[in-house]
Amino acid sequence: MRKVLTIAGKELRSYFVSPMAYAVLLFFLGIAGLIFALSIASPGAMADMRGMFQTLVFVSLMMTPILTMGLLSQERASGSIELLMTNPVRDLEVALGKYLAALGMFLLLCIISLEFPLVLEKYGEPDWGSIGAGYLGLFLCGMSFIAVGLLASSLTSNQIAAAILGIFMLLFFWLIGWLSYSVSQNLGDIVKHVSVYENFQDFEKGIIDTKPIIFFLSLTGFALFMTVRTLENRRTI
């Protein structure tokens, strides 16, 4: 565990010595803040976050591949991955360390975004139970998005390619739920089970159910497993 935390700490510090962290913060809060301002300024606006959470999840989907694109691809491009692999550190520790660093950045974004419900609290009476469920769903989405982005980063040595691949992979899990409305009911039910959008809807409504939790944890675990397998294959080449 010490090696995992060492890798995570190193990667987390590297975010803040480059423009990356600040650009992501500006992108996330700028887009989310604009949507929030427009939503509360509309006539008859309610003191809730239901529509806002969907915006936060989609912005996170587009943003997390940017956070993760260089975690492993940059190491491959610079050749430092070879040095990392020769050290007495396991592939799982490398993957977890990189993953925790990006997850820490995402958690920071979630904490900063608490300004939105605090504004609602000042001018209205929001349902904090529903807001808590929404933030739980947002964090679970972020966990799975980062894992998929890390997998994309492990597949190529080009950071831009890693970001594009990560975005396409996540868009697949976001948009696949739309197929459920144009296929047979049985197939539609199956498709809904693997859709990020469909699984997040309960959290947005303030409902905490075990099925979507299991989905996001399973997606995270599968993506991390495939990342470790990719690193193992590279070690054997």
SS3 track for the chain? CHHHHHHHHHHHHHHHCCHHHHHHHHHHHHHHHHHHHHHHHCCCCCCCCHHHHHHHHHHHHHHHHHHHHHHHHHHHHHCHHHHHHHCCCCHHHHHHHHHHHHHHHHHHHHHHCCHHHHHHHHHCCCCHHHHHHHHHHHHHHHHHHHHHHHHHHHCCCCHHHHHHHHHHHHHHHHHHHHHHHCCCHHHHHHHHHCCHHHHHHHHHCCCCCHHHHHHHHHHHHHHHHHHHHHHHHHHHC
Residue 56 CB contacts under 8 Å (≥ 6 apart), including other chains: 32, 113, 138
Global pTM value: 0.88
Residue 89 CB contacts under 8 Å (≥ 6 apart), including other chains: 3, 7
Q: Quick one: pLDDT at residue 84?
A: 56
What average pLDDT is seen over the chain?
82
Residue ranges, the chain, pLDDT below 50: none
Q: Quick one: pLDDT at residue 180?
A: 61
Q: In Å, how far are 90, 149, 155, 162 from 232, measured between CA atoms?
A: 9, 18, 12, 19
Residue range(s) defining the domain that contains residue 203: 2-236
Among the listed residues 35, 34, 31, 39, the one whose alpha carbon sits nearest the alpha carbon of residue 62: 31
In total, how many domains does the chain have?
Answer: 1
Q: Quick one: pLDDT at residue 191?
A: 72
Residue type, 217: L
Among the listed residues 234, 183, 232, 193, the one whose alpha carbon sits nearest the alpha carbon of residue 216: 193
Q: Quick one: pLDDT at residue 207?
A: 85
Q: Quick one: pLDDT at residue 87?
A: 61
